[in-house]
Amino acid sequence: MTDIIAALALITDPQVLLVILLAAVFGLVVGALPGLTATMATALLVPITFFMAPAPAIAAIVTTSAMAIFAGDISGALLRIPGTPASAAYVEDSYKMTQKGQAELALGICLVTSAIGGLFGALILALAAPALAEVALSFSSFEYFWLACFGLSCAVFIATDAPVKGLVALLLGLFIATIGIDVTAGYPRFTFGSIELMGGVSFIPAMIGMFAVGEVMRFALASGPRPTVPNQSLRHVFHGLGRVLWRYRLNLVRGNIIGTVVGILPGSGADIAAWVSYAVAKRFSKEPEAFGNGGAEGLVDAGAANNSALGGAWIPALVFGIPGDSITAIVIGVLYMKGMNPGPTVFLHEPQLLYAVFISFFLANLLMIPLGYGAIRLARQILNVDRAILMPIILLFCVVGSFAINNTVFGVGIMLVMGVLAFFMEENGFPIAPVILGIVLGPMVEENFMTSMIKADGNLLGFFERPIAACLGVLTLIIWSWVILGLIRGRPAVQAAPGMPGDQA
């Protein structure tokens, strides 16, 4: 109880509240603009959170990501361009509603279901994380090794439509993680004599490069006139909303549950949650013909699912240090830099910080209703921001952010290399989220693998001797053999939804 009060004191500090408010506005604007994703918003925020205390830093990231995932719906409904990939699943429906003159209703549904979904995800997070942490305390290197393998396998095989390309992305990430002084022997690997590489590839410049510079390059390549915002009233967003939500109340519950579960699965985040729950809603709907034709039903399901996935993704991140999506991968990198190693021990040593995470989730999703309403009212102005002006500014921000971490231009170099790599990977259908997961989890996988190998004296059966480790190990092997069997039979093992992109929320 004292921890909860301590956490409340941390969050209700006026300065922290101001940070949350600014983060909310930032998230809404970045999320609403097409081509700027929620992950990019988080990545751009990180250099600034680097200089903050842990509580406001976490609160800022939570708020930004939640707002950005909702705001993606705004340009989806008004321009037919999802502002973030998480809104892509139902963009047809929301845009057709706008064409029918129902833009207010569509945005109202998106706003309220987003807030409800976010609150539900946060509730599950607050209930499940401490309970799971009790279990996690008894884990040894064997369990952690398999857990990380299981998480990475999910990221590769469930979250991407081309398993081989996902695997390549993951292995590249793991390779990048091995650069620098190695964890067991202290030998500098792949540094080619560079002193700056001895400490490894810095995480923040790498992540800014992949999620922001790659995006700026894609903008540079794209051309064409700016789409115009339809001239419709956006004033009465909540009018008639209660009736629709009551009619689809079961969809709302289902969307929440699916979203949270998909969020918990490592490597799959808000965008996959939206695709899955939209598909499920269509499958069990009484009027499946309305899907894709401006029906409100799919909007309720998927609108709630993508926001509840955010809370879900924090569960494995906080309990095991294994990110549930690319946003929590960034969070884990930030926590490590702040000297807080995510994992069950955080629950023992710094419970007030965990409660601070839960409270900021609730706060952010409650704030979403008034601030989101404001964003909808200002949608025309936000969407008319000239991206030709915005993108160079974002690039300068990336440069300063990458420089600020170690105060060397070497960080800018890492950002440049990773940005070009991300651009070419995306052009050729390689997902980039597994690279970031590989970089974040690489040291943990290797350390637990080496410790386990030494403990078991090279006997691979030793990896299966403890019961939980055995279960996780078998589960991982089942995923692998399923995929390999599918490849041998010459078809993708996991049939992804058409047009489903890799996770980059």
Partner 1 sequence: MRVNDALSGVVLVVLALAMIAYTRTFPAMPGQDYGPALFPTLIGLGLILAGLTLIGQGWAARARAPWIDAAVAFGSRRQLGRLLAVPASLILYMLLADPLGFILTAWLLLFGLLLLFRGGQALSSTLIALVVTLIVHYAFTQWLLVPLPPGLLQSILY
The residue ranges that bind partner 1 (CB under 8 A) are 48, 51, 164-165, 167-168, 171-172, 174-175, 178, 182, 184-185, 187, 189-190, 213, 216-217, 220-221, 223, 386, 388-389, 391-393, 395-397, 399-400, 403-404, 407, 409, 412-413, 415-416, 419-420, 424, 427-428, 430, 446, 449-450, 453-454, 458, 487
DSSP state of 80: S
Q: How far is the CB of 452 from partner 1 (least distance, A)?
A: 10
Q: Which residue has the tokens 């009018």?
A: 239
Q: How far is CA 44 from the centre of its chain?
A: 14
Cα gap 272→274, rounded to integer Å: 5
Calculate the alpha carbon distances from 201 to 152, 335, 418, 438 in Å: 20, 17, 10, 12
Q: What is the full DSSP assignment across 291-331?
A: TTTT-SHHHHHHHHHHHHHHHHHHHHHHHHS--SSHHHHHH
Q: How far is the CB of 20 from partner 1 (least distance, A)?
A: 18
Q: How far is the CB of 107 from partner 1 (least distance, A)?
A: 30
Q: Is the dihedral of CA 167, 168, 169, 174 positive or negative?
A: positive
Shorter beta-carbon distance to partner 1: residue 76 or 151? 151
Q: How far is the CB of 407 from partner 1 (least distance, A)?
A: 6
Burial pattern 345-358, b for ≥16 Cβ within 10 A else e, equals ebbeeebbbbbbbb
Write out the two tokens for 191.
Answer: 């540094």
Shorter beta-carbon distance to partner 1: residue 112 or 414? 414
Shorter beta-carbon distance to partner 1: residue 6 or 168? 168
Q: How far is the CB of 54 from partner 1 (least distance, A)?
A: 16
Q: How far is the CB of 214 from partner 1 (least distance, A)?
A: 9
Shorter beta-carbon distance to partner 1: residue 136 or 156? 156
Shorter beta-carbon distance to partner 1: residue 66 or 436? 436
Q: Are 111 and 63 in contact (CB under 8 A)?
A: no
Q: How far is the CB of 382 from partner 1 (least distance, A)?
A: 18
Cα gap 181→223, rounded to integer Å: 44
Shorter beta-carbon distance to partner 1: residue 46 or 244? 46
Q: What is the full DSSP assignment across 167-232?
A: HHHHHHHHHHHHSEE-TTT--EES-TT-STTTT-S-HHHHHHIIIIIHHHHHHHH--SPPPPPP--
Closest CA to 334 of 406, 440, 246: 440
Shorter beta-carbon distance to partner 1: residue 450 or 468? 450
Shorter beta-carbon distance to partner 1: residue 95 or 145? 145
Shorter beta-carbon distance to partner 1: residue 50 or 238? 50
Q: How far is the CB of 451 from partner 1 (least distance, A)?
A: 10
Write out the two tokens for 269.
Answer: 């985040």
Q: How far is the CB of 371 from partner 1 (least distance, A)?
A: 23
